[in-house]
Amino acid sequence: MDGNGRWAQKRGFPRIFGHRNGAGAVRAVIEECGRLGVEVLTLYSFSMENWKRPREEIDALMYLYTMYIEAETQGLIDNNIRFVQIGRREGLPDEVVAAVDRLTAATSGCTGATLCVAVNYGSRAEITDAARAIARDVKCGRLDPDTIDESTIERRLYTAGLPDPDLLIRTAGERRLSNYLLWQLSYAEIHVTEALWPDFGIGDLHTAVRDFASRSRRFGGLEAEPPTDRPDR
């Protein structure tokens, strides 16, 4: 969700003003994804690198996240949406962890779409944590090194149990992965829009989905040949 700070600065406001408006775009996107039949929506909310930002901005972001959780809890339940958070919990404020745990528990029985929010997340850290978990299992004799395969790693990623993304949307014209779901995005289609996140609306989402639908996804194979009208001989 790139461009919140730039959106605010272009209007002469502090960066946090952009984050507040960006939160409004989240609700519209979640609701429309539900109407479109999207099974899982993952939002990159706060990266591990974001701790480098000014303390005032970090505190405001954590407060906004907590307020968002409290404000949207009933709406998620009413729409049968399950909430999960990925990323390292260590370092997050206690009130954020408590709010996340309450929302996770409150929506655990929801069977519709899944809203996954990445907070204090970094893909290299995720893969590192998976490698450590595998090493511990090998050391304790619970895992034979010769049996390690891709599924062994996937089961130890933060996203275990979630499908790999089909589509990555990058707002604000950004054209890099930014340490985001590096393992999971291996075969995802990438759509880049110049829209800053607070301006990202339903029309922008539809454009991204249409772009995705126009892609030929071969996964290393060959594209299927179009059917012919010639009768078999």
Active-site positions?
2, 50
- 141 CB burial (10 A radius; 0-12, 13-18, 19+): exposed
Pair 165, 181: CB distance under 8 Å:
yes
Quote the tokens at residue 68. Answer: 């968002």
| Residue spans of alpha helices (H) in 91-168 | 94-106, 123-139, 150-154
Q: Is 185 exposed, middle or buried (0-12, 13-18, 19+ CB in 10 A)?
A: middle
Cα–Cα–Cα angle for 146, 151, 153, rounded to 5 degrees: 80
Closest to 115 in 3D by CA, of 59, 72, 67, 64? 72
Q: Is the separation of the CB atoms in 89 and 64 below 8 Å? A: no
